[in-house]
Structure 1
């Protein structure tokens, strides 16, 4: 049994591959920083709540609700960075089997489908957010719309990330490379 080679990736650092703009660099950095903070705070809250529950017999019900909403936000905000590195599920057998020109046409069509899907998600997510704005969360009494807002914001950010990487991916089938990270690794 032979293993297939991993998808090609691109390094978008100045001087290697496609140049990265200051706006793109800022967006990637800000997006990743927010994800790190969300996941760090969420982990700290859950660990502290578990420790309090078992060490002193006190549990804070708001921690479960807050951590759940933080996970929702992290999932939607993490979709764009995952897209940049080819981290979403993909079947590359057909594009890899096609001649280069046909593979580019197929990748361009796929980018259009992804963009249409993300635009639809922004639109429906905004409607869903508006629908849930008057509803309250069970424990904290927050507007459920603030949780649902992750849908259109995350989809819009993923669309921006797609815009930044689409040209290179269509042209060569290569994704951004993140040093020390392989999204296709098992």
Structure 2
């Protein structure tokens, strides 16, 4: 028998999800930055621009936006109006937060389903410059939203019970 508890396995899986999500985002933003900087330098120094850079970075930005939604959710980085929740008694606030989590989860499930349909619709369409399958670009919707649902599941209990998000080093969404 394994000496580790199911919670520690879930914790390790959650930490791996967060770390992988973070490094993929860092990689995407780094590659986008390098491509844009090199293209700008090339345009102004050598008088030549790479036409594929704009399209590639646009698609990378789409992926980054959807992959970044989950980590932002974990730390309360999305816009929210919490005046009502703060004004309610503790028990009523928990009920309202439960309803909010259920609504967010339901909306994510519907958007994942619609995203899959959109991917299937666009799979054989090609992008104008790179000739990439647009379905692969739009795959960002179901992949990113499924990850967002996983991030929601990871923080839901704590947020419902305590009304608190995870803490991220150097980031306080309330200070923004």
Q: Which TM-score bucket, shorter chain as reference?
A: over 0.9
Is 1:101 equivalent to 2:74 in the alignment?
Answer: no
Task: For residue 179 of structure 1, report the CA deviation from its aligned partner.
Answer: 1.4
Is 1:150 equivalent to 2:143 in the alignment?
Answer: no
Partner in structure 1 of residue 170 of structure 2: 180
Task: For residue 185 of structure 1, report the CA deviation from its aligned partner.
Answer: 2.3
CA offsets 1:135-172 (integer angstroms, 9 cap, x no match): 00000101000000000001000000000000000001
Task: For residue 75 of structure 1, report the CA deviation from its aligned partner.
Answer: 0.1
How many residues align structurally? Answer: 169
Partner in structure 1 of residue 3 of structure 2: none
The structure whose residues are more often helix, as a share, is: 2
TM-score by length of 1: 0.89
Partner in structure 1 of residue 126 of structure 2: 136
Query: Partners in 1 of 2:172 and 2:62 — Cα distance?
Result: 24
Equivalences for residues 10-159 of structure 1 within 5 A: 21-159=11-149
Q: Which runs of 4+ in 1 moved over 3 A?
A: none
Query: Partners in 1 of 2:170 and 2:130 — Cα distance?
Result: 40
SS at match of 1:175: coil
Partner in structure 2 of residue 13 of structure 1: none
Larger RCO of the pair (alpha carbons < 8 Å, separation 6+): 1
RMSD: 1.2
Task: For residue 184 of structure 1, report the CA deviation from its aligned partner.
Answer: 2.7
TM-score by length of 2: 0.94
CA offsets 1:50-75 (integer angstroms, 9 cap, x no match): 00000000100000000000000000
Query: Partners in 2 of 1:151 and 1:184 — Cα distance?
Result: 27
